[in-house]
A and B are shown apart, each in its own frame.
Chain A
């Protein structure tokens, strides 16, 4: 797959890159000042591209980029052509670089790689700590390093500016999404909750990733906050019924679907700070002595 020439070039770049060890950086470092035309096949890379690339660099974005539940930059995405993540579409559009997620569209990525299209994959598992690196990496890919550096530094600066939350009784949270799916350990949401001083109850109980969480456990453990998600669409689905289950209402906890701005923590990006700020505000409003925990 990789020729010797490419390897030597890679080795040379790796040396010049010095501290930057991520392969994605280095291979594309030589194209730093040109602005390649980029096509994104994944809702998370869509939003990194939107935040960094110039308008005429963007060939197309995934059709989820306008999804009200998943995409924070949905309004900005509206002005671009959309793709359905098909290899055929990539060939018709002929972008210089394709960006996508590691877990989405496995087969498409394999086909594109085999046919010699340059594909940059971004890890699906993101946390608050990976966001700045992802911004910088995307900046290098789309040839907008200065812009990316500025945004990444600003993100890191704001994250570092938050005071460390004093140890004590942190309020507990369960993020209860459609179909009773919970956001457990290792998710972006989990890292945000920890950063602002909440205990992610599902993660503590050994649930990791996005997994079903029994409604009975939610009732039994009585978290201080239940964050239910808003319906993804105006069109109904049974998936949303569980978030309106009378058992959750009867708990009488904070279970607000409006706390976290829609789409702000589905993907990691500069906008994820919106979710952090919103949850910090909620956390600060709970510093007062907790009421009604013992039932």
Chain B
């Protein structure tokens, strides 16, 4: 079971990554694309492949994987099937942080200014939510707190952008609330990659603790798990992953919700062992959504956050309905 799951997921990611590199308005044929990718053939193809399509595909993998990984970790740790960076407001808080730092101009106009605020925003949101979720709360309390937090963050984001003297800022509200991978560059990849790598390692290191926590906090503690330390690592890991991703692509919702639920039936349902497959699944989902967003069906390019919400929001409602029937 396990090797087939791995091979299957990896295969899907590889195929979608390659497809992502082949789709674009320049309509390059596969041979030209491949030559361009390795820096041969004509200049235009090389620039298109290496400066436009490659960073986009890489960001699809990185951001999709880190969102789904964060979603799987949050669902496992909070034992809440609806927990997800977008739904509980971590993504929109990261957006707010990035917006405040970037548009105030204090950090300059470089893309490297983006993550500073996003990390802080994500961190504040995760801490607030864990405080709310601590103690005896129901699944619903956390989700409702998340709804409040994400509405508040979205409102402040819109306010901050409307107050900017730059006439373009107010049009960028949609990017920060429904993210996009359009026209990113390798600079964006380098901005978020190291932060995501650290975040991913922190989350993965919690794997066995998450397995133990599925039995409850006391049982986990009796098994020798340091719950406080696990919580700290997860807070840091999720903030790094979601903050870094959101700072370069805006808030992309529901990837972290949908993917763990799709992958879980294929695993042995231990939250720790769900982490890496979820990351692969998230990469696949975001790559696929981003390919569809680029297809010419919609006229101009769609924000990929629109598509993930179109997939994810009905899924979320279905989870809510199922929970009413079966209880969590």
The tally of CB-CB contacts under 8 A between chains A and B is 95
Residue among B47, B48, B169, B186 making CB contact with A237, cutoff 8 Å: B169
Assess the A67–B44 pair: CB atoms within 8 A: no
Bound complex: CA A251 to CA B50 (Å)? 12
Residue among B48, B53, B102, B164 making CB contact with A220, cutoff 8 Å: B48
Bitwise, B158-192 to A at CB < 8 A (1) or not (0) is 00000011111101100100000001011100000
Assess the B165–A235 pair: CB atoms within 8 A: yes
Smallest CB-CB separation from B53: which chain A residue?
A216
Bound complex: CA A69 to CA B105 (Å)? 18
Bound complex: CA A275 to CA B29 (Å)? 40
Bitwise, A216-259 to B at CB < 8 A (1) or not (0) is 11011010000000011111111111100111001100000000
Sorting the interface of chain A by its residue count into under 10, 10 to 19, 20 to 34 or 35 or more gives 20 to 34
Smallest CB-CB separation from A238: which chain B residue?
B172
Is A127 an interface residue when CB atoms closer than 8 A count as contact?
no
Is B155 an interface residue when CB atoms closer than 8 A count as contact?
no
Assess the B167–A67 pair: CB atoms within 8 A: yes
Assess the B109–A247 pair: CB atoms within 8 A: no
Assess the A246–B186 pair: CB atoms within 8 A: yes
Smallest CB-CB separation from B111: which chain A residue?
A241
Interface hits, B38-59 → A, CB 8 Å = 42-44, 47-48, 51-53
Assess the B164–A216 pair: CB atoms within 8 A: no
Assess the A235–B169 pair: CB atoms within 8 A: yes
Assess the B24–A216 pair: CB atoms within 8 A: yes
Smallest CB-CB separation from A220: which chain B residue?
B26
Q: How far is the CB of A224 from chain B (nearest CB, A)?
A: 14
Find the residue from A179, A217, A236, A241 having the highest chain B CB count within 10 A: A236
Is B300 an interface residue when CB atoms closer than 8 A count as contact?
yes
Assess the B168–A240 pair: CB atoms within 8 A: yes
Contacts of A238 in B (CB 8 A): 102, 168, 172, 175
Assess the A246–B185 pair: CB atoms within 8 A: yes
Residue among A178, A220, A222, A236 making CB contact with B105, cutoff 8 Å: A236
Is A5 an interface residue when CB atoms closer than 8 A count as contact?
no
Smallest CB-CB separation from A239: which chain B residue?
B168
Assess the B168–A245 pair: CB atoms within 8 A: no
Assess the A295–B43 pair: CB atoms within 8 A: yes
Contacts of B136 in A (CB 8 A): none
Assess the B166–A180 pair: CB atoms within 8 A: no
Is B137 an interface residue when CB atoms closer than 8 A count as contact?
no
Find the residue from B28, B48, B300, B301 having the highest chain A CB count within 10 A: B48
Assess the A219–B166 pair: CB atoms within 8 A: no
Q: How far is the CB of A262 from chain B (nearest CB, A)?
A: 14
Bound complex: CA A217 to CA B300 (Å)? 14
Bound complex: CA A69 to CA B104 (Å)? 19
Assess the A179–B168 pair: CB atoms within 8 A: yes
Specify the main secondary structure of chain A where it touches its partner: helix
Is B222 an interface residue when CB atoms closer than 8 A count as contact?
no
Is B17 an interface residue when CB atoms closer than 8 A count as contact?
no
Sorting the interface of chain B by its residue count into under 10, 10 to 19, 20 to 34 or 35 or more gives 20 to 34
Is A17 an interface residue when CB atoms closer than 8 A count as contact?
no
Contacts of A247 in B (CB 8 A): 47-48, 51-52, 185
Is A289 an interface residue when CB atoms closer than 8 A count as contact?
no
Is B77 an interface residue when CB atoms closer than 8 A count as contact?
no
Q: A214-B25, A245-B183 are in contact. Are A295 and B42 (CB under 8 A)?
A: yes
Is B254 an interface residue when CB atoms closer than 8 A count as contact?
no
Assess the A219–B52 pair: CB atoms within 8 A: yes
Contacts of A236 in B (CB 8 A): 102-103, 105, 108-109, 166
Assess the A232–B24 pair: CB atoms within 8 A: no
Assess the A180–B183 pair: CB atoms within 8 A: yes
Is A24 an interface residue when CB atoms closer than 8 A count as contact?
no
Bound complex: CA A234 to CA B109 (Å)? 9
Assess the A233–B165 pair: CB atoms within 8 A: yes
Residue among B47, B171, B185, B301 making CB contact with A239, cutoff 8 Å: B171
Is A215 an interface residue when CB atoms closer than 8 A count as contact?
yes
Is A261 an interface residue when CB atoms closer than 8 A count as contact?
no
Assess the A250–B51 pair: CB atoms within 8 A: yes
Contacts of B51 in A (CB 8 A): 219, 245-247, 250
Bitwise, A187-220 to B at CB < 8 A (1) or not (0) is 0000000000000000000000000101111011
Assess the B111–A219 pair: CB atoms within 8 A: no
Residue among B43, B52, B105 making CB contact with A235, cutoff 8 Å: B105
Bound complex: CA A220 to CA B164 (Å)? 35
Smallest CB-CB separation from B187: which chain A residue?
A246
Interface hits, B267-326 → A, CB 8 Å = 300-301
Assess the A235–B166 pair: CB atoms within 8 A: yes
Q: How far is the CB of B40 from chain A (nearest CB, A)?
A: 13
Assess the A216–B166 pair: CB atoms within 8 A: no
Bound complex: CA A251 to CA B44 (Å)? 8
Binding site for A on B (CB under 8 A): 24-26, 28, 42-44, 47-48, 51-53, 102-105, 108-109, 111, 164-169, 171-172, 175, 183, 185-187, 300-301
A-B contact pairs, 10 of them (CB 8 A): A214-B26, A216-B24, A219-B48, A222-B44, A238-B102, A242-B183, A246-B187, A247-B52, A250-B47, A295-B43
List 5 A-B pairs, minimum CB-CB distance, nearest first. A239-B168, A214-B25, A216-B26, A247-B51, A233-B166
A237-B166, A237-B169 known; 5 other A-B pairs, CB under 8 Å? A212-B300, A217-B25, A232-B167, A235-B165, A245-B183
